[in-house]
Copies of this chain bind each other. A is one copy, B any other.
């Protein structure tokens, strides 16, 4: 048993931490201001563009990518604590080209893409020249139950003709392509019906209906509602084989959940830091908040819950790295539920300690509180994960 990090991970973590301190945190409020006046939907605020260049120049780029041909080749458990640092800031992941859903798209392109697909889509994404999106969720059906998927891709010669209605296609504004989940084989067994197909967003028939306002706002590339109306894309845009859609989605989700969870832990750490600083300096009713036992309990519980969540994620990452994504399914489901709930509890306490300031956008707390709530729903709601966790547990005792 050994809980220490590898030297290379420690070194990169230190570099990213220094970069965050020097460039990222000070840029947060500037980015927020700039975002309000962006002319091109989905574009990065200028300061983020600039920081991306800096990060790339320092080699702090694509650190998420486990395939050494395309990045540093860090194991998931090595990248995890670095990912946590990025999660401490609303703009962190984007600065280091480690933002969802691009990370997942790059991973599956690296793992399942043809040389041509890699050349055309993976390479510029790795370079940070294009953004992408992942088009799976549909408004009419529950996304966590894949047997309900309605979008269809019908083979027509060398083309697929895609028809469907998606929403919460995150990041579509300004993206170069979407990876679209569509039913290609309706008569196959449920988990072999769908395929993933690369759809350039300038394909005729792709209609971005709107960036759905989420929690009062549209950020970055938005969470878009999209109609695919007779979109024709060449069959060479198929990822993997026909019917591989769910398998690829699963492969994608493993590391993706580690990333999400570690970023949430980073946000929680940031919130705890802010909570402590505020408690140390805010005086009311005869003492500092730091001296009041209820605030102390919030801080202690936050520390406990964050540390427990982190250990769980590190363990899931380590297990995924050592015995494989499939064997680590239970752990990956568990961290999804745990981290998403932990961060909301910590944020709630941090807001309370900040009083009115906590409701304002003068700290990142209110932003995290709006944005991260969605992670109890995205990539499978808590309830579906709990169902699958329980079924595996129950099966042990049947």
**A residues neighboring B (CB under 8 Å):** 1-6, 77, 137, 139, 141-145, 148, 167-168, 212-217, 223, 272-273, 276-277, 279-280, 282-285, 290, 292-297, 299-301, 303-304, 307-309, 311-312, 314-315, 318-319, 331, 334, 337-338, 351-352, 355-362, 366-367, 369-370, 373-374, 376-378, 381-387, 389-391, 393-394, 396-398
Contact = CB atoms under 8 A, between A and B. Distances in A.
Contacts of A273: 397
Contact of A217 (B143, B217, B282, B304): B217
B359 A334 contact: no
Give the number of copies in the complex.
4
Contacts of A6: 1
Which of A307, A338, A384 has the most C-beta atoms of chain B within 10 angstroms of its own C-beta?
A307
Nearest to A168: B356
Nearest to A317: B1
A296 B390 contact: yes
**List of 6 A-B pairs having minimum Cβ-Cβ separation, nearest first:** A142-B284, A296-B390, A300-B386, A300-B389, A308-B308, A213-B361
Given A214-B361, A216-B361, A217-B216, A390 B285 contact: no
A374 B359 contact: yes
Contacts of A284: 141-142, 144-145, 148
A375 to B, nearest CB: 10
